[in-house]
C-alpha cells in the first residue's frame, strides 16, 4: 500500500515539476516579450505546479505513519512531515520514500508530538508562496529590463500600454537620466530648444458655482482672492497691447464659472474682436459652452480653448461632484468638431494614484491636444485641499510625469504650469529638456516669476526664450 501511494505521489510530483518548470520558463519568455500580463499568467501556472505537492502530503504522512506503526509501533506524524518536507526538496516522491526509509532504518525516528498544522504551514511557504514570490520578483525585474530596452531603442510609433506607462512612473530614480534623455530627443525633434513663456489674464474671477476641491474660485472655497464678474477694459486691452508690442505668440484669457448666458458670450466675443485687431492669437479657458456659444466665439476669431481633464475618470468624483468627467470629455469633443485648437492637461498631487495619472494621460493622448499643461498642486488656504500632503511630489516623480506626457503626446506643447517655481526650483536646465512651455507673471489666483527673470533663467539654462501669452 505504501509503495502504491509513493508511486501515485511521484507521478503527481512529476507533473507538478513539469508544470512548474514550464511556468517559470514562460515567465522568462514573456519578460523578453515585454508583456507583464502574460508574465503574471505564467506565474500563476508555475504556482499551480507546486500545489499538488501540498495536496497529497496528507496521504504521504498517513502512509508513512501506518508503515512505522506496523513495524515500530510508533505514530510519527509530526516528524514525518519534516521528513517529507526535506525529501520533497531533493526529488519529490522518490526523495520522500528514501528519506523516510533512511531515517527509520537509522533509528533516528523517535516519538514526536503530532503537529500537522505547523508543518503544513511550512509546506505552504516552501511550495506555494516562495515560488509565487520569486516569480513576481522575476516579473518585476523582467519588466524593468523591458522598460530599459524600450527607452534605449525608443520607437515613436510604439503606443505605450498602461503597464508600460506605470513602469515609467515607477522607474527607479537612478534610471531617471535615461528617461529624460529619451524625452529630450523628442523635445528637440519637435520643439527645438525654444521655451515659450505664457501670460494669463483673469477676465472673470471667483463666485464659481462648481466645487472643485483644488480651486480658490470654487463655491466651497474661503480663499482670500479678488472677485469680479468682468475685468476692466483697461486691464484686458492693456495686456493684449503688451502681447502685440512684444510680438508674443498668444494671449490667454480665463473665466471662472461653468455656464454662461448668450449675452455674456456675445460681450466676450466683442472683446475678442477688438483684441484681434492685430491678428493676435487668443486662447480662452472657459467652462461648458453650448455649440451656439462656441460658434459665436469661433466667429469672433478665438483660436484655441483650454479645457483640462484635471484627473482620471475614476478619481474625478473625489475632486468635483457638481459636474462629471464625461461632461468635460463631451465638451472637448464638441469644441474639436467645430475646429478649435485644444489645450488639455491636468493637476498632479490631489491624492490620485499613479494609475490615475496614467489613465488621465491616456485620455489626453486620445484627445491629442495642441498643448498639455501639467499643474502640480499648490495647496491654497481656504480650499478643500489646503492640507493635502504633497510630500510625494518629489522633483524626481514630477519629472517622470512630465517625461511620460512627452512620450505619450510628443508633438504637443508640454507645459510645466502651476507649481514650477516650487517643485523645480534649481533644476531648470533639466526641466527644459522635457518641457517646452512655462508660465510667467503668475496664474489665475497666484503669483509667479516675472517675465524678465524667466527669460534670464531660460538663457542661463542654455535654451531660447520665446514669449507666448497663452492658456491654463
| DSSP, res 62 | H
Predicted local confidence at residue 38, as pLDDT: 72
| DSSP, res 287 | -
d(CA 18, CA 24): 10
Identify the CA nearest to 312 among candidates 351, 360, 352: 360
**60 within 8 A of 5, measured Cβ to Cβ:** yes
Predicted local confidence at residue 55, as pLDDT: 43
Question: What b/e string do you get for 310-326 counting C-beta neighbours within 10 Å, with b at 16 or more?
Answer: bbbbebbeebbeebebe
Residue 162 pLDDT > 60, yes or no? yes
Residue 117 pLDDT > 50, yes or no? no
Predicted local confidence at residue 147, as pLDDT: 82
State mean pLDDT over 418-428.
91
Identify the CA nearest to 272 among candidates 307, 309, 243, 308: 243
Predicted local confidence at residue 111, as pLDDT: 42
**75 within 8 A of 84, measured Cβ to Cβ:** no
pLDDT digits (tens, 9 = 90+) for 278-302: 888 899 999 999 999 999 999 999 9
Kindly list the distances between the CA atom of residue 63 and the CA atoms of 5, 91, 97, 111, 458, in Å, as whole numbers in the listed order. Answer: 7, 18, 10, 17, 80
Q: What percent of the chain has pLDDT over 70?
A: 66
Predicted local confidence at residue 49, as pLDDT: 60
Predicted local confidence at residue 132, as pLDDT: 59
State mean pLDDT over 227-247.
87
Other beta carbons within 10 Å of 141: 11
Residue 89 pLDDT > 50, yes or no? no
For the record, the C-alpha cell of 121 comes out as: 504551514
Predicted local confidence at residue 464, as pLDDT: 80
Q: What percent of the chain has pLDDT over 90?
A: 51
Predicted local confidence at residue 243, as pLDDT: 77
User: pLDDT band at residue 466, thresholds of 50, 70 and 90?
Assistant: low
State mean pLDDT over 150-166.
91
Predicted local confidence at residue 242, as pLDDT: 79
DSSP 216-275: TTSTT-------BSS--HHHHHHHHHHHHHTT-S-EEEEE-SS---HHHHHHHHHHHHHH
Residue 7 pLDDT > 90, yes or no? no
pLDDT digits (tens, 9 = 90+) for 173-199: 999 999 999 999 999 999 999 988 777
Q: Regarding predicted confidence, which is higher, 72 or 143?
A: 143
d(CA 309, CA 322): 14
State mean pLDDT over 417-423.
91
Least confident of 114-128, 239-253, 344-358, 456-470: 114-128
Torsion of CA 247, 250, 253, 254, to 10 degrees: -140
State mean pLDDT over 442-450.
53
For the record, the C-alpha cell of 334 comes out as: 464638441
Lookup result for grid cell 510645466: 416
pLDDT digits (tens, 9 = 90+) for 31-56: 556 666 676 677 667 666 654 444 44
| DSSP, res 127 | I
Predicted local confidence at residue 435, as pLDDT: 96
Kind and range of the H or E run holding 470: none
To the nearest whole number, what is the mean pLDDT of the chain?
79
Longest C-alpha distance within the chain, in Å?
A: 108
State mean pLDDT over 52-75.
46
Amino acid at each position: 500500500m505504501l509503495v502504491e501511494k509513493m508511486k501515485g505521489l511521484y507521478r503527481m510530483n512529476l507533473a507538478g515539476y513539469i508544470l512548474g518548470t514550464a511556468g517559470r520558463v514562460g515567465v522568462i519568455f514573456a519578460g523578453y516579450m515585454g508583456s507583464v500580463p502574460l508574465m503574471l499568467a505564467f506565474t500563476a501556472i508555475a504556482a499551480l505546479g507546486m500545489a499538488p505537492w501540498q495536496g497529497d502530503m496528507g496521504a504521504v504522512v498517513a502512509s508513512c505513519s501506518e508503515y512505522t506503526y506496523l513495524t515500530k509501533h510508533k505514530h510519527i506524524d509530526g516528524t514525518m512531515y519534516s521528513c517529507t518536507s526535506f525529501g520533497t526538496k531533493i526529488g519529490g516522491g522518490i526523495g520522500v520514500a528514501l528519506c523516510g526509509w533512511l531515517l527509520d532504518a537509522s533509528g533516528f525516528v523517535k516519538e514526536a508530538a503530532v503537529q500537522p498544522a505547523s508543518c503544513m504551514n511550512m509546506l505552504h511557504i516552501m511550495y506555494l508562496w516562495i515560488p509565487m514570490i520569486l516569480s513576481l520578483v522575476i516579473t518585476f525585474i523582467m519588466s524593468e529590463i523591458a522598460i530599459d530596452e524600450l527607452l534605449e531603442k525608443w520607437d515613436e510609433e510604439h503606443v505605450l500600454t498602461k503597464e508600460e506607462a506605470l513602469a515609467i512612473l515607477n522607474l527607479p530614480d537612478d534610471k531617471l537620466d535615461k528617461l529624460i534623455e529619451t524625452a529630450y530627443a523628442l523635445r528637440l525633434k519637435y520643439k527645438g530648444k525654444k521655451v515659450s513663456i505664457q501670460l494669463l489674464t483673469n477676465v472673470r474671477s471667483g463666485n464659481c458655482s462648481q466645487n472643485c476641491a483644488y480651486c480658490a474660485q470654487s463655491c466651497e472655497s474661503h480663499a482670500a482672492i479678488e472677485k469680479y464678474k468682468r475685468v476692466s477694459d483697461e486691464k484686458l486691452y492693456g495686456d493684449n497691447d503688451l502681447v502685440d508690442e512684444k510680438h508674443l505668440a498668444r494671449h490667454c484669457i480665463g473665466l471662472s464659472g461653468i455656464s454662461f448666458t448668450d449675452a455674456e458670450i456675445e460681450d466676450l466675443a466683442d472683446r475678442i474682436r477688438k483684441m484681434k485687431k492685430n491678428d493676435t492669437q487668443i486662447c480662452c479657458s472657459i467652462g461648458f459652452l453650448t455649440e451656439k456659444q462656441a460658434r459665436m466665439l469661433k466667429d469672433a476669431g478665438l483660436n484655441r480653448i483650454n479645457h483640462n481633464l484635471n484627473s482620471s475618470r475614476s478619481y474625478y468624483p473625489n475632486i468635483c461632484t457638481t459636474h462629471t468627467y464625461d461632461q468635460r470629455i463631451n465638451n472637448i469633443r464638441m469644441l474639436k468638431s467645430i475646429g478649435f485648437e485644444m489645450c488639455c492637461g491636468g493637476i498632479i498631487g490631489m491624492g490620485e494614484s499613479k494609475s490615475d495619472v496614467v489613465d488621465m494621460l491616456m485620455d489626453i493622448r486620445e484627445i491629442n491636444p495642441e498643448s498639455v499643461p501639467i499643474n502640480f498642486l499648490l495647496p491654497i488656504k481656504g480650499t478643500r485641499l489646503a492640507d493635502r500632503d504633497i510630500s510625494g511630489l518629489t522633483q524626481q516623480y514630477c519629472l517622470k510625469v512630465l517625461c511620460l506626457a512627452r512620450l505619450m503626446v510628443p508633438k504637443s506643447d508640454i507645459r510645466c504650469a502651476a507649481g514650477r517655481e516650487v517643485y523645480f526650483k534649481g533644476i531648470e536646465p533639466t526641466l527644459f529638456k522635457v518641457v517646452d512651455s512655462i508660465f510667467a507673471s503668475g496664474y489665475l489666483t497666484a503669483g509667479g516669476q516675472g517675465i524678465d527673470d524667466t527669460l534670464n533663467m531660460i538663457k542661463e539654462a542654455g535654451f531660447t526664450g520665446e514669449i507666448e501669452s497663452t492658456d491654463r
